[in-house]
């Protein structure tokens, strides 16, 4: 990759799991009532046809991984499981009251934190309680994030019997020095064990998460990690850039010094090397940061242009309604976003009082909805169009002027009223989306809010 382009475009920018991005939500026009109305509209329009997505945030971890930017709570006290499960089920009851009739679950995902912090028995009780008051879509997809060090055969078996067929395991990197720096020591043997167990039980889509740009990490480390990963051939791989945002996450990302991180050009070389290795053994790049075998549903969704992206990342389920349960969870009605409180005390209190535990959100206006479609098109299909007049907006001419710069650098191509990202431009997809991000341009922050794009 051209170093001059890396230097030019390596700026702070969003990862676009939503538009508008969370820092630019307008809380002045948001209310709990407005959120309920937007959710009800979305649900009525889409439940029967496509169903809903349900995300359960299970925030507990026994130790702190210093690379992690997720909302988590560190504890070894497993008695926290019981009250949290009760609160999740109460919150689901509150949402079912808003929806008015039985939701059809198309997609269900357990994220964290560490979902496998919870005992298999408690996960079974939680999920059985949620499923029995809902309808499960015929072509559903249930998935969860498993920690290789504590995911047991019992975890895998219980979740399989509940309908889970997809699991992703966090690998990050196999170099012990890197693992110690990020406080995530897990031998290859642990990853091999859980991967093979999942296959034996019958999981049809197994994913590994790998990160580049970690402290002390070198290109050689990336090669070694991918070579070991290749020996297991997971169905899909998330190959993420480490998001270094210690000014947001506080001490959670301060287990090392900034000087221990690879430079922007070194980090990008790690990605290019890793991408080449993955493609040589049969993985295809899907959207941003994701690779899949051609037999996996994620690849098929890309081929059929049905790939979708939301707060859970890339997904094959193009649902309009996504409900997030648990502390800090974000819900998406397509017309609006809502985030739950991050305080356990407040979360439990509001749920006990019969109030949805939402503390902020955003209701999308007409311009937001159009921009959202353009950014979603770019993130999922590497192209977008304004041939349809419904995809036009007042500041489109200014956006096109910004896009010309990318065209001159060979990162995208214009054809009539359409723009397509080139192979050379795919690593800069976040930058290209930023040209459409009107809120980012209007409200330039005084401090850095996002990780670097390259």
Residue boundaries of the structural domains of the chain: 17-325, 366-439
Helices 188-201 and 153-161, packing angle to 10 deg: 30
Q: If you compute the radius of gyration of the chain from its CA atoms, what whole number of angstroms results? A: 21
**Residue 449: predicted pLDDT:** 59
Reported confidence tier of residue 416, pLDDT bands at 50, 70, 90: confident
Q: How many helices (H) and strands (E) does the chain have?
A: 16, 19
Per-residue pLDDT, averaged over 76-81, amounts to 92
**Residue 247: predicted pLDDT:** 44
Reported confidence tier of residue 453, pLDDT bands at 50, 70, 90: low
**Residue 76: predicted pLDDT:** 86
Per-residue pLDDT, averaged over 114-120, amounts to 95
Per-residue pLDDT, averaged over 132-136, amounts to 97
Q: What angle is formed at CA 226 by the lines to CA 224 and CA 231, rounded to 5 degrees?
A: 100
pTM of the model: 0.92
**Residue 253: predicted pLDDT:** 46
Per-residue pLDDT, averaged over 46-67, amounts to 89
CB 286 within 8 A of CB 294: no
Q: For the domain covering 366-439, report its CATH number.
A: 1.10.10.920
Per-residue pLDDT, averaged over 352-362, amounts to 98
Per-residue pLDDT, averaged over 179-190, amounts to 93
Per-residue pLDDT, averaged over 124-144, amounts to 97
Residue 427 has pLDDT above 70, yes or no: yes
Least confident range of 20-29, 35-44, 240-249, 315-324 = 240-249
CB 112 within 8 A of CB 373: no
Residue 255 has pLDDT above 80, yes or no: no
If you average pLDDT over each of 60-69, 120-129, 421-430, 437-446, which comes out highest?
120-129
CA atoms lying within 13 Å on the CB side of residue 340 = 32
Residue 396 has pLDDT above 90, yes or no: yes
Residue 374 has pLDDT above 80, yes or no: yes
Alpha helices (runs of H) in 233-263, residue ranges in sequence order: 246-249
Per-residue pLDDT, averaged over 219-223, amounts to 97
**Residue 246: predicted pLDDT:** 58
Share of the chain above pLDDT 90, in %: 78
Residue 386 has pLDDT above 70, yes or no: yes
The chain-wide mean pLDDT, for the chain, equals: 92
CA atoms lying within 13 Å on the CB side of residue 283 = 25
**Residue 446: predicted pLDDT:** 54
Per-residue pLDDT, averaged over 18-29, amounts to 93
Distance, in Å, from the CA atom of 335 to the CA atom of 337, rounded to the nearest integer, reads 7
Superfamily (CATH H level) for 17-325: tm_1862 like domain (3.80.30.20)
Per-residue pLDDT, averaged over 293-300, amounts to 95
How many other C-beta atoms lie within 10 A of the C-beta of residue 425? 22
Residue 335 has pLDDT above 60, yes or no: yes
Long-range contacts of 242-249 (CB under 8 A, 24+ apart): 242/67, 242/211, 242/212, 242/213, 242/214, 242/267, 242/451, 243/15, 243/69, 243/451, 244/213, 244/451, 244/452, 245/69, 245/450, 245/451, 247/447, 247/448, 248/69, 248/449, 249/68, 249/69
């Amino acid at each position: 990759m051209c170093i001059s382009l890396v230097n030019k475009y390596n700026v702070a920018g969003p990862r676009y799991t939503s538009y508008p991005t969370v820092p630019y939500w307008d809380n002045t026009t948001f209310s709990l009532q407005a959120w309920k109305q937007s959710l009800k509209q979305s649900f009525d329009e889409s439940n029967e046809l496509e169903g809903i997505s349900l995300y359960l945030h299970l925030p507990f971890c026994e130790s702190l991984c210093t690379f992690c930017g997720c909302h988590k709570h560190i504890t070894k006290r497993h008695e926290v499981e019981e009250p949290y499960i009760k609160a999740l089920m109460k919150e689901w009851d509150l949402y079912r009251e808003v929806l008015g009739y039985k939701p059809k679950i198309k997609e269900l995902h357990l994220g964290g934190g560490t979902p496998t912090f919870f005992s298999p028995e408690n996960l079974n009780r939680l999920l059985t309680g949620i499923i029995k008051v809902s309808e499960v879509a015929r072509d559903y997809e249930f998935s969860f994030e498993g920690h290789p060090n504590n995911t047991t055969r019992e975890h895998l078996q219980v979740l399989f019997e509940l309908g889970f067929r997809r699991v992703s395991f966090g690998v990050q990197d196999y170099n012990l020095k890197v693992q110690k720096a990020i406080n995530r020591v897990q031998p290859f043997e642990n990853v091999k064990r859980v991967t093979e167990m999942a296959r034996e039980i019958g999981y049809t889509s197994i994913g590994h998460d790998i990160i580049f740009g970690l402290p002390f990490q070198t290109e050689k480390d990336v090669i070694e990690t991918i070579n070991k990963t290749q020996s297991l051939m997971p169905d899909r791989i998330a190959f993420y850039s480490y998001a270094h945002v210690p000014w947001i996450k506080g001490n959670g990302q301060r287990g090392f010094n900034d000087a221990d991180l690879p430079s922007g050009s070194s980090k990008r070389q790690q990605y290019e090397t890793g991408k080449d290795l993955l493609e040589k053994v049969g993985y295809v790049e899907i959207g941003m940061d994701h690779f899949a075998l051609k037999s996996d549903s994620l690849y098929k969704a890309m081929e059929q242009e049905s790939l979708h992206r939301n707060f859970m990342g890339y997904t094959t389920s193009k649902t309009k309604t996504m409900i997030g349960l648990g502390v800090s969870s974000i819900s998406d009605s397509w017309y609006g976003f809502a985030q739950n409180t991050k305080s356990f005390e407040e979360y439990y209190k509001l749920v006990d009082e019969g109030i949805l535990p939402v503390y902020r959100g955003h209701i999308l206006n007409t311009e937001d909805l159009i921009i959202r479609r353009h950014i979603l098109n770019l993130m999922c299909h590497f192209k977008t169009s304004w041939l349809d007049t419904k995809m036009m907006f007042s500041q489109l001419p200014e956006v096109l002027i910004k896009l010309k710069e990318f065209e001159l650098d060979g990162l995208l191509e214009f054809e009539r009223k359409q723009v397509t990202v080139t192979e050379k431009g795919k690593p800069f997809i976040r930058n290209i989306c930023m040209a459409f991000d009107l809120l980012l341009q209007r409200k330039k922050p005084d401090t850095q809010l996002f990780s670097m794009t390259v």
